[in-house]
Amino acid sequence: MEELIIFVGLGLLVGFLVGLTGVGGGALMTPSLIFLGVEPLIAVGTDLLYATVTRIFGVFFHHRRGRIRYDVSLRLFAGSLPAIALGGLILREINKEILNDYLTLLLGLILVISAVLSLLKGELHVPIKPRWAYVYLLGFIVGLTVQFTSVGAGVIVSFTLMNVARLDPKEVVGVTIVYGLALSTFSFLNYAFLGSVDYHLAAALILGTLPGVYFGTHVNTMADREKLKRAINIIILLIGVFTILNR
């Protein structure tokens, strides 16, 4: 019972912060689960299920407002399909203990990269002519990172689409949610086939997250959203460094 309360509370906290700032839940949820003693492989698989369920609501919300570029989302996902297949093969073939060790290291690196990109968002413009080939390549790279860490679909994609593909920020949010939903769903299936998903844990997290997102969304009208987002990204950066140093 005590464990259930802790994980519902974690879902509530992460959901509140996501609703308040828009910062990706995976960057907060996966390291938190590992810190609370969940095996890295289980933490990633469970977070992918958690992300899939919570993103369904985001897609519904943005679709109703017509803010989704499905053409970009589909190209990103097409680039991710070979990464999902490759990730599934690696997950099945590599020893679980080795995977857990390297997943923790990779998670730390992706957290650091994601936090830095978030802090730079809108302040860096890459002098590259936008091409669809870059979108497919981006899908492949992010497909691999999400497959092994559950982190990156939001921050890395939104940063690249705004600074390389020059998409409008309002369109970027919808793209990352639709793409993130498709990617987390198929990535979750790889972990489900391995038996590396804790469904009871995912249910507890989702139970806490839904009211958390609701309250966070309402409170963000009274808070300085950008300052809060910057503070959380600095925390994620520190969590990433801590994860790397203490693996």
- Contacts of residue 178, Cβ cutoff 8 Å, sequence gap at least 6: 59, 62, 68, 70, 73
Count up the domains in the chain and report the number. 1
- Contacts of residue 237, Cβ cutoff 8 Å, sequence gap at least 6: 111, 112, 115, 116, 119
pLDDT value of residue 125: 55
Rounded Cα–Cα distance for residues 48 and 236 (Å): 18
- Contacts of residue 16, Cβ cutoff 8 Å, sequence gap at least 6: 212, 213, 215, 216, 219
Written as six digits, the tokens of 200 are 């009871």
pLDDT value of residue 244: 84
Q: Are 220 and 20 in contact (CB under 8 A)?
A: yes
pLDDT value of residue 223: 66
Q: Are 237 and 115 in contact (CB under 8 A)?
A: yes
Q: How many CB atoms lie within 10 A of CB 148?
A: 22
pLDDT value of residue 24: 66
- Contacts of residue 203, Cβ cutoff 8 Å, sequence gap at least 6: none
pLDDT value of residue 76: 92
Q: For residue 172, what are the domain limits?
A: 2-245
Question: Which regions in the chain score pLDDT beneath 50?
Answer: none
Number of H helices, E strands in the chain: 10, 0
pLDDT value of residue 130: 57
- Main-chain phi, psi angles of 36, to 5 degrees: -85, 5
Arithmetic mean of pLDDT over the chain: 82
What's the length of the chain? 247
